[in-house]
Amino acid sequence: SAVISQKPSRDICQRGTSLTIQCQVDSQVTMMFWYRQQPGQSLTLIATANQGSEATYESGFVIDKFPISRPNLTFSTLTVSNMSPEDSSIYLCSVEESVGGELFFGEGSRLTVL
């Protein structure tokens, strides 16, 4: 199974600033996803990170707020821009090793915005 490293694991940020979360996978994967998990809530898909093209965003999420990079098949970044306290959440990177199969998750990045 894929080994996924995410950093930072946690951060405390000031309102109005931006933070970039990195996701590194130990093998090449086609599909990488970014999820948000607000305290005590479920997993909500933010976007699919496509290698070589723009990310595909879900309803309610926009590129200006959550820009994503996917420079190669093992790495992706998610930036949370112009943060507000409502952005306080855990952000999880996930990968799919085979089409329509199991999702593997990183440990998550716990973001607190003051």
Partner 1 sequence: GENVEQHPSTLSVQEGDSAVIKCTYSDSASNYFPWYKQELGKRPQLIIDIRSNVGEKKDQRIAVTLNKTAKHFSLHITETQPEDSAVYFCAASDNNNDMRFGAGTRLTVKP
For residue 43, the minimal CB distance to partner 1 (Å) is 4
For residue 42, the minimal CB distance to partner 1 (Å) is 5
For residue 51, the minimal CB distance to partner 1 (Å) is 14
In order, the DSSP letters of the chain are ---EEEE-SEEEE-TT--EEEEEEESS--SEEEEEEE-TT---EEEEEE-TTSPPEEPTT--TTTS-EEEEETTEEEEEE-S--GGG-EEEEEEEESSTT--EEE---EEEEE-
- Where does this chain bind partner 1 (CB under 8 A)? 31, 33, 41-45, 48, 59, 92, 96, 99-103, 105-108
